Structure 1
Amino acid sequence: MLFKSSKLSTVIEWGTLLISTVLVCFFLIVVIWEIVSKGAGQLSWDFVTKVPSEGMTKGGILTPIIGTVMLTILTALFAIPFGVCCAIYLNEYAEDNWLTRTIRASIRNLSGVPSIIYGLFGLALFVQALQLGTSLLAAGLTLGLLSLPYIITTTEEALMRIPNSTREAALAVGATKFETIKDVVLPSAMPGILTGVVLTLSRAAGETAPILFTGAAFYINSSSGYLNQEFMALPYHLYMLSTQHQSIEEVRPIAYGTALVLIIVVFFMNLTAFYIRFKYRKNATEM
């Protein structure tokens, strides 16, 4: 009787999991098909190499692409060094006490804070308090704050997976703690660290709310970008075309094309993360 009950429970669990997976994949396919079918016709060399013109009803999306690339680079420059160093300290140096546990809990809670809250915080701190103004730099720092909890968490998880015996072996042959971390622990954890970093940056590249208050502009007819100036970005450009433009029906094809380009960019960033993990795992196996 107990065996039958256990078997029934397993069937129900697997059935629920299968149904949930099918539903998620179904709606994902529907959304992607909607965007691809209506945006593929818009894709062309001119679409990705020309700046918007005539109030964004003509031209391409070069300016939003450049803005998104620069924003992602700024986010990476700010978030990766601080996030990785913080994770190394928490996992390798900090003692396991109530303060460390509180810090870890706070970091994980920050991962669940809505992105628009980061936007308001960036407005108060970077735009107003530090007087950076609505600019590319303020938006990049805001997205850096948004990315920090994810990078810290994924990096610490990658470091935790390295066995203590590896550290002890390095220390036993005379390496210092710093040398052990730099030459043994970090290279072993690099696949997990890089995967988490790339996935986090791909999420940041698609954020709209944080840059809404800190520097994103409705329309800039220039492909140049400066740290102290406003900028255009693909997610905000898509939002404006879809909801705020005075001729929404006229620019709808451009909106679908922009959405498709953004999906392609995020897809390739995620593909890069999986390739990095595969490459490092393959090298580790060969060694």
Structure 2
Amino acid sequence: MSIFQDANRKQIANRRTIDFMLHILFVIATSIGVMALCVLLIDIIIDGLARLQPQLFTEFPSRKADNSGMKSAIVGTIYMLLIMAPISFIFGVGAAIYLEEYAKKNWLTRLIQLNISTLAGVPSIVYGILGLALFVRLLSLDKSLLAGALTMTLLVLPIIIVSAQEAIRAVPKSRRDASFALGATKWQTVSRSVMPSALPGVLTGVILAMSRAIGETAPLVMIGALTYVAFLPESILDSYSVIPIQVYNWLSKPQPEFKELAASGIIVLMALLLLMNFSAILLRNKYQKNV
């Protein structure tokens, strides 16, 4: 009996040793990643802090670094978000509700689900090629703000659908059963019982998807977004630029002053991303308290 006990103790000791070694390995790997990110952020802040002035937000791009700003890129980014957000929310959340609450669970829905999950991991440049073929050439939208917004909508739709489905699945089945027991219809149950509970997760997924979209450059370069725009778009069919495109344009110039402007543009973009992520946390906490 003691032999078996000794062997069991050795196995437990070995497992704890392996557990401890893996824990140390994961901590080291995480620390290396965090340290590299901190070094990169500090380097960007040092380079771009001097150029982070009101002129950066009030002036249009210029061939002279001292007179250059990113007003058109900031406005273009905001316009694109205003177009993308309602379209992405309606189609993304609508598709998630249909797949989770109305569609029959058969081979067709499984195939659709597999395709959506696959599309969520497709490289962004593929969506740029699709947008070029569909919106720019087939629908003749040219290099317009609408073409760019629709292309980025295609990029974020799979992410929104998957996150909304997860939020809807997390709603307990007892809520649906209680609603049906009170005589509610299917749509009344979904709209008044399921969606209010799933709304925090849905909104978080939508905002995080928007955050990814405003940081993408490859799809917009593919569909012909302009790197030099010294005007504001007056309609959704006008030419445009966004912050990542403007940063890309400044980085391509040899003068060191434009490198500093690019660093300041990266700081603005990071601040916008942090603001969107913070708003996602606030919305989630607010609606979780109301559920």
Under a length normalisation based on structure 1, what TM-score does the superposition of the two structures give? 0.94
Paired letter, 1:257: S
In 1, distance between residues paired with 2:126 and 2:234? 26
Give the root-mean-square deviation of aligned CA atoms: 1.4
Distance 1:239 1:13 in 2: 40
Conservation of the 8 A alpha-carbon contact between 2:59 and 2:67? no
1:46-96 CA distance string (max 9 Å, x none): 221222234666232111000011112222122111000000011111122
Alignment partner for residue 231 of structure 1, among 220, 240, 247?
Answer: 240
In the alignment, structure 1 residue 274 sits paired with structure 2 residue 281: yes
1:122 and 1:230 map into 2 onto residues whose CA distance is 15
Note the residue ranges of structure 2 that are not aligned, 5 or more in a row: 1-9
Identity over aligned pairs, percent: 38
> What does 1:59-98 align with in structure 2 at a 5 Å threshold?
59-98=68-107
SS in 2 for 1:42: coil
**Which residue identity does 1:251 align to in structure 2?**
F
Corresponding residue SS for 2:105: coil
Distance 1:231 1:57, change over 3 A: farther
User: Counterparts of 1:199 and 1:129 in 2: how far apart (Å)?
Assistant: 30
Q: 1:221 aligns with which of 230, 243, 263?
A: 230
| 3-state SS of 1:41 partner | coil
Does the 8 A contact of 1:158 with 1:193 survive in 2?
Answer: yes
Distance 2:61 2:70 in 1: 6
Residue identity in the other structure for 2:191: K
Report the structure number with the largest CA radius of gyration: 2
In the alignment, which residue of structure 2 is the partner of 1:178?
187
Aligned-partner Cα distance in 2 for 1:12–1:6: 10
Distance 1:80 1:215 in 2: 25
How many corresponding residue pairs? Answer: 282
For residues 134 and 249 of structure 1, what CA distance do their matches in structure 2 show?
Answer: 30
- Per-residue displacement from partner, 1:9-55 (whole Å, max 9, x unpaired)? 32133223222221221111111111111111111222212222346
Q: Distance in 2 between matches of 1:56 and 1:195?
A: 38
CA distance in 2, matches of 1:149, 1:42: 37
Asked if the contact 1:242–1:255 (Cα under 8 Å) also holds between the matched residues in 2, the reply is yes
Equivalent of residue 36 in structure 1, options 42, 45, 64: 45
Q: Which residue of 2 aligns with 1:264?
A: 271
User: In 2, distance between residues paired with 1:17 and 1:181?
Assistant: 42
1:112 corresponds to: 121
1:147 alignment counterpart: 156
Kept in 2: contact 1:57–1:251 (CA 8 A): no
Distance in 2 separating the partners of 1:28 and 1:279: 31
- Asked if structure 1 preserves the Cα contact closer than 8 Å seen for 2:233 and 2:239, the reply is no
Question: Once the 2 structures are TM-superposed, how far is the Cα of residue 195 of structure 1 from its aligned partner?
Answer: 0.4
